[in-house]
Structure 1
Amino acid sequence: MDNIAGSKSSLTWAVHISVAALVFLWLFPTIGLFVSSFRTADQISSSGWWASLFPAEQTIQLRTGGGDAAVQEGDLWVVEGNLLVDHEDSPGTDVTLTRFGVSSRDVSAYAIGETAEFGDGAETVTLSANGDYRYTSTEEPGRRGQRVFITAEVPPEFTLGNYQTILFSGTGQDNMAKAFFNTLTVTVPATIIPIVVAAFAAYALAWMDFPGRALLIALVVALLVVPLQLALIPLLRLHLGIGIGKGYLGVWLAHTAFGLPLAIYLLRNYMVGLPRDIIENAKVDGATDFQIFTKIILPLSFPALASFAIFQFLWTWNDLLVAKVFLIDATGSTTVMTNQIVELLGTRGGNWEILATAAFVSIAVPLVVFFAMQRYLVRGLLAGSVK
């Protein structure tokens, strides 16, 4: 009975589990990137993003007051203060101190309230739970003071500073705002142009009779397997030869050329599956091919158009190779987001909070486009597969 059409398969549970696992594997790094983009560098280095809502243990290097804060008491020089609030880089009173140390070799050698000795014992420091310390020395302290390493439980901290740095940091290498608009300038025309051209070509190949139509269809299918890298240099030399050079026009034409085979193939398969009676009745009523195309075919082909638009938009938005060849100039005024992130890897390779923010900014728009149009994706991809 399992093979009877319409009966429910016994493996439905396996399909549901597989789909849930795939969704989880896709969402896990995306959510992690999103959460990390709001965390500070210290938070990221101390714990994973999944622990961002809980206190994290961190080791912080601070300094006692220097000689200008020292007071002589008998044979000793004494400096008193609070490590948690005295300096600009102090963590504040929200943290909970657990251990401390005076050497980088053992940053948690002493419990809170104990007295730690520096070197030969001529200098000591006592740290209390609220951050107050008492430093003593048999000689007058130096100007910078002594290093003290504290181990503390730091509460969760989230900030918009990473986005402030990335989007509004002027014209420096960290600024993603200009790269964001450059990417939009490349992506929107590079998505619209091939759709317009491919829609006309697909209608002609699907519903118009002319010599060589079958050969053109075969040529379109053959172009689907041509490697992108094979055409980059010849196409660039052609652009330079006709005066286009490197610029937005060149990269628009390049993306149009590389996207047309898939667009024509996808749209033609969809248009062929449309009811023939509608087309023939329109022709009997005196409609021209252009009227049929604009008033009947295009509205009915919206799922296929949206399906290709998703592919083309995502591919163009995430592209680096074509932009490097046809767009990027020496001044960097036309830098796209993918290239900007590569630059950030060189200048801020250790600043994970900046890199996470830049990466999430770059994927935010594709996520919006995908979720807004995903219901048309499968319908467009399956067009023409079943008669």
Structure 2
Amino acid sequence: MTIQHTAGTGAETAVPRPPRANGATGAPGASRRPGPSPAGRAVALLRGGLVQGVLVVVALVWLTPTVGLFVSSLRSSDDNAASGWWTALTRPGTLGLHSYRAILSDSSITHAFWNTVLISVPATLAVVLLAALAGYAFAWLEFPGRDWVFLVVIGMLVVPVQIGLLPVAKLFGEVGLFGTIPGVVLFHVAYGLPFAIFLLRNYFAEIPREVLEAARMDGGSEWMIFRRLIIPMGRPAIASLAIFQFLWVWNDMLVALIFADAGSQPLTVALQSQMRQFGSNIDVLAPGAFLSLIVPLLVFFAFQRHFVEGVMAGSVK
């Protein structure tokens, strides 16, 4: 019930308050939203459990080859020839590190492993550094023909790597780079730069202009802005690019087959030659393949946080 004042008379009239539509009590405007019913809660729980179950099944399917490779690398060649790798799960006593000792004592395999490191690390660092510099220039520096040059870089993204194999191999043969580690590194750098520049340029262009203008007004040079602003703010994209480039170079076999010789071949080519020479020698291929697999996994997990930030960048504004 409310009190109304009658104009001019000063009398007060009691007016009954209309009842609430939903029967709720309390402050005016308050509403009570009904909670989910037991059936709704059961459906939501079932839906969440179903999604989790599907994800678990997908994860097991993806991990099964890796687990099988690892178990096979711990078995002897006779056991691998006699039965499948899953039988070792019931007989863990047959597993051992003898295959890894044998492959690590093979000088050709260890030499190929270090060749892979000498190819992958410089190719990754060079691509990241050059692409960061070029991406900053295309995003924030004004120079004649900037947009046309960037269009040429984008056009190079559609050029397949197979087109340049033979012409570049002939060029490397004339300058003395064919069959050497620097030649393999240079090829990876040349064909990795277009995508790297495109990726970093688009990421750097999203940095607020006000931040760079404030740094320039404070007397900062372009090199100082690049080192102290662009690199820290672009760390997610740079980490994502480094992971992509490292994985591509580390797992590459096509370029190495063309440009590397017996002294500069990486681990992928060395394992392929083992298969060609000795057939299905699983005692060499399984531990070698797992050694080739474990390094990219360590690199990915080391930069996982930055990689996720780079992938999700720009999805939420």
User: What TM-score, normalized to structure 2?
Assistant: 0.80
Following TM superposition, by how much is the alpha carbon of 1:231 offset from its aligned partner in structure 2, in angstroms? 0.9
Asked if 1:231 is matched to 2:164, the reply is: yes
Instruction: State the 1:285 CA deviation.
Output: 0.6
Rounded Cα–Cα distance in structure 2 between residues aligned with 1:222 and 1:12: 45
Residues 341 and 355 in structure 1, CA contact (< 8 A), matched pair in contact too: yes
1:46 partner letter: A
Q: How many residues align?
A: 273
Change beyond 3 A, Cα 1:13–1:274: farther
Alignment partner of 1:296 is 2:192 = no
| Equivalent in the alignment of 1:45 | 81
**Aligned sequence identity (%):** 44
Could you tell me which residue of structure 1 aligns to residue 151 of structure 2? 218
Task: Give the 5 Å matches for 1:34-183.
Answer: 34-55=70-91, 156-169=93-106, 171=107, 175-183=108-116
Equivalent pair of 2:236/2:310 in contact (CA under 8 Å): yes
Q: Greater strand percent: which structure?
A: 1
Is 1:344 matched with 2:281? no
**Residues 1:24 and 2:60 are matched in the alignment:** yes
Q: Which residue does the alignment assign to 2:133?
A: 200
1:378 equivalent to 2:311? Answer no
Greater mean alpha carbon deviation, residues 285-294 or residues 346-355: 346-355
TM-score (norm 1): 0.66
Aligned to 2:8: none
- 2:180 maps to 1:247: yes
1:181-196 matches, within 5 Å, as 181-196=114-129
Letter in 2 for 1:40: S
Tell whether the 8 Å contact from 2:115 to 2:181 is kept in structure 1 after alignment: no
| Cα distance between partner residues in 2 of 1:185 and 1:224 | 26
Residues 243 and 299 in structure 2, CA contact (< 8 A), matched pair in contact too? yes
Q: 1:384 to 1:335 in 2, by over 3 A?
A: same
Pick closer, same or farther for the CA change 1:227–1:362 going to 2, 3 Å: same
Paired residue for 2:195?
262
Counterpart of 2:238 (choices 290, 305, 312) is 305
- Deviation of the 1:15 alpha carbon: 5.1
| C-alpha distance after superposition, 1:29-52 (max 9, x if no partner) | 111111111111232233332331
Counterparts of 1:315-354 in structure 2, within 5 Å, are 315-328=248-261, 332-354=262-284
Q: Which moved more, 1:266-275 or 1:155-164?
A: 155-164
Q: Is the 8 A contact 1:38 1:159 kept in 2?
A: yes
Distance 1:54 1:319 in 2: 36
Distance 1:182 1:262, change over 3 A: same
Query: SS at the partner of 2:274?
Result: helix
Question: Which residue of structure 1 aligns with residue 296 of structure 2?
Answer: 366
Select the structure with the greater relative contact order (CA < 8 A; seq sep ≥ 6).
2
In structure 1, runs of 5+ residues without a counterpart are 1-8, 56-154
| Aligned residue type for 1:23 | A
Bigger share in helix? 2
Q: Which amino acid counterpart does residue 70 of structure 2 have in structure 1?
A: F
2:179–2:264 contact (8 Å) kept in structure 1: no
Task: Give 1:268 shift.
Answer: 1.0
Q: Which residue of 2 aligns with 1:272?
A: 205
Q: 1:280 to 1:17 in 2, by over 3 A?
A: farther
Shift of 1:28: 1.1
- For the residues of structure 1 that align with 2:149 and 2:316, how far apart are their CA atoms? 23
Indicate if the aligned counterparts of 1:307 and 1:380 stay in contact, CA closer than 8 A. yes
Report the Cα distance in structure 2 between the residues aligned to 1:348 and 1:239, rounded to whole angstroms: 32
Q: Is the 8 A contact 1:318 1:338 kept in 2?
A: yes
**Amino acid aligned to 1:228:** V
